[in-house]
């Protein structure tokens, strides 16, 4: 990843609430430094315009370094406030805040930022007066100039945050519509392909193994019954998703025989949890196509769902050739990218897809979602 790409990624992550920051420290310090210089220069210009001494020696000697110091204190205050929130607040709180796509998001971040900006401005102005003026903190807080400057800073922060989150909501809404349209197109391409391949397999079995052909046709009917309804909707439940996976894996077992073993684990209290359709099946297809099927002895595909720290984990594990094995031709990367885009469009940064080496060999694909749907 280039310097520019890594910097863009770090800037995107600054808009998110994350317990563990993946960006390197030097990029985070660079961003804080740019913000400090930008806000400090803006504050200095505003102060110079208010007092009519913009560009004078006094302005360069006192107000420019003083406002840079205040800006630095505000940035430090922001960092301490937001990192404390991210590290100390439960993950479900962060997921709830991140999921807001209305006025609540702008109101929360504006008020939270203003509180910590007030602390930073008070500390910064105290340092400024101690270094340049020698006034007491009590006189500073009682000064109308101080509160006028703070109200200016607060208004600036509120305007910037409101504009930023408004743009972000529009972008996410547009991206969500584009992703869902792409998903519908992808479904329209996959379903006939899968349909024709399965019917061709049934046709090939009719002459020499009619019993197996009949069983495959029954399994295929079960799969259609489980899948077609939810594929046309915006959401499904875990119980429906697992029913479709069970029917699909049943078809694959008829085709692969004893080479494919299947394990499904869904706790009863998670069956009613809602999620976007077709999240797990592409991962199961990849596990078979890239992991188990290339092996002569085959292997096991295990699908499970569980609750971890107030979040939903859906895991697809196989004991196949693993991530280091040769990749077969197919839509492996396309499927993973499609799932990640759908998760981002629906849940934002609070949902993720990881592809990990499985302990003991093979691959583990893990989807993490906010567990916001009440369960019985």
Are residues 53 and 155 both part of a single domain?
Answer: yes
Q: What angle in degrees, to the nearest 10, is found between the helix axes of 238-256 and 210-231?
A: 150
Are residues 144 and 265 both part of a single domain?
Answer: no
For a pLDDT cut of 70, what percent of the chain falls above it? 78
Are residues 152 and 284 both part of a single domain?
Answer: no
Give the total number of structural domains in the chain.
2
Burial-class residue 316 by CB neighbours within 10 Å (0-12, 13-18, 19+): buried
Are residues 170 and 261 both part of a single domain?
Answer: no
Q: Quick check: is 184 in a domain?
A: no
Are residues 53 and 150 both part of a single domain?
Answer: yes
Are residues 264 and 162 both part of a single domain?
Answer: no
Are 54 and 102 contacting, i.e. CB atoms less than 8 angstroms apart? no
Which one is predicted more confidently, 208 or 29?
29
Are residues 281 and 170 both part of a single domain?
Answer: no
pLDDT in tens, 294-311: 888 999 999 999 998 888
Of 53-67, 115-129, 172-186, 238-252, the one with minimum mean pLDDT is 172-186
Q: What is the pTM of this model?
A: 0.56
Q: Quick check: is 71 in a domain?
A: yes
Q: Quick check: is 235 in a domain?
A: no
How sure is the predictor about 183, in pLDDT bands with cuts at 50, 70 and 90?
low
Q: Check pLDDT > 60 for residue 375.
A: no
For residue 289, which phi and psi values (nearest 5 degrees)?
Answer: -70, -40
Are residues 32 and 168 both part of a single domain?
Answer: yes
pLDDT in tens, 209-254: 788 788 888 878 877 776 666 655 667 889 988 988 888 888 888 8
Q: Quick check: is 205 in a domain?
A: no
- pLDDT for 289 equals 86
| Contact partners, residue 151, CB within 8 Å, separation at least 6 | none
**Cα 1 → chain centroid:** 20
Which of 131, 153, 174 terminates a domain? The answer is 174
Are residues 21 and 169 both part of a single domain?
Answer: yes
Note every long-range contact of 6-9, with CB atoms under 8 Å and residues 24 or more positions apart, other chains counting. Answer: 7/31
Q: Quick check: is 214 in a domain?
A: no
**Cα 159 → chain centroid:** 25
Q: Check pLDDT > 50 for residue 272.
A: yes
Which one is predicted more confidently, 318 or 141?
318
Q: Which strands make up the sheet holding 311-318, listed edge to edge? A: 260-265, 299-308, 311-318, 363-370, 352-357
Q: Check pLDDT > 60 for residue 328.
A: no
Q: Check pLDDT > 50 for residue 373.
A: no
Q: Quick check: is 39 in a domain?
A: yes
Which of 174, 199, 232 terminates a domain? The answer is 174
Are residues 267 and 170 both part of a single domain?
Answer: no
- What average pLDDT does this structure show over 84-93? 86
Are residues 24 and 163 both part of a single domain?
Answer: yes
How sure is the predictor about 266, in pLDDT bands with cuts at 50, 70 and 90?
very high
Note every long-range contact of 329-338, with CB atoms under 8 Å and residues 24 or more positions apart, other chains counting. Answer: 330/289, 330/290, 332/286, 332/289, 332/290, 335/282, 335/283, 335/285, 335/286, 336/282, 336/286, 338/179, 338/182, 338/183, 338/186, 338/282
Q: Quick check: is 211 in a domain?
A: no
| CATH of residue 313 | 3.30.565.10
The three-state secondary structure class of 231 is helix
Are residues 160 and 266 both part of a single domain?
Answer: no
* Number of other residues whose CB lies within 10 A of the CB of residue 122: 18
The structure tokens listed for 126 are 């105290």
Which of 153, 174, 195 terminates a domain? The answer is 174
Q: Which domain holds residue 359?
A: 256-370
- What average pLDDT does this structure show over 56-60? 87
Q: Quick check: is 270 in a domain?
A: yes
């Amino acid at each position: 990843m280039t310097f520019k790409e890594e910097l863009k990624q770090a800037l995107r992550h600054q808009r998110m609430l994350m317990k563990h920051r993946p960006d390197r420290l030097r990029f985070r310090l660079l961003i804080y430094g740019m913000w400090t210089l930008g806000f400090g220069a803006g504050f200095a210009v505003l102060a110079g315009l208010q007092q009519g001494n913009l560009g004078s020696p006094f302005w360069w000697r006192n107000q420019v370094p003083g406002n840079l110091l205040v800006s630095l204190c505000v940035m430090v205050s922001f960092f301490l406030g937001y990192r404390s929130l991210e590290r100390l607040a439960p993950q479900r709180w962060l997921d709830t805040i991140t999921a807001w796509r209305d006025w609540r998001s702008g109101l929360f971040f504006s008020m939270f930022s203003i509180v910590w900006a007030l602390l930073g401005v008070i500390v910064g102005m105290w340092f400024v007066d101690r270094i340049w003026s020698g006034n007491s903190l009590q006189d500073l807080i009682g000064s109308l100039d101080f509160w006028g400057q703070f109200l200016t800073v607060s208004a600036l922060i509120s305007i910037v945050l409101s504009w930023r989150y408004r743009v972000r909501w529009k972008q996410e809404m547009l991206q969500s519509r584009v992703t869902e349209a792409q998903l519908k197109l992808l479904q329209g391409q996959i379903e006939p392909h899968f349909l024709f391949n399965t019917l061709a397999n049934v046709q090939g079995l009719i002459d020499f193994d009619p019993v197996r052909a009949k069983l495959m046709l029954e399994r295929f009917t079960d799969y259609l019954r489980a899948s077609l309804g939810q594929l046309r909707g915006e959401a499904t439940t875990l119980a429906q998703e697992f029913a479709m996976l069970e029917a699909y894996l049943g078809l694959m077992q008829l085709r692969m025989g004893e080479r494919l073993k299947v394990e499904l684990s869904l706790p009863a209290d998670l069956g009613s949890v809602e999620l976007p359709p077709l999240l797990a099946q592409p991962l199961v297809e990849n596990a078979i196509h890239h992991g188990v099927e290339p092996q002569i002895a085959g292997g096991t595909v295990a699908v499970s769902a569980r609750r971890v720290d107030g979040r939903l984990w859906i895991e697809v594990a196989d004991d196949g050739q693993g991530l280091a094995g040769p990749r077969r031709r197919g839509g492996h990367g396309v499927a993973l990218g499609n799932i990640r885009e759908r998760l981002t469009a629906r849940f934002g940064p609070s949902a993720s897809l990881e592809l990990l080496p499985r302990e003991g060999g093979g691959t583990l694909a893990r989807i993490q979602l906010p567990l916001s749907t009440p369960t019985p």
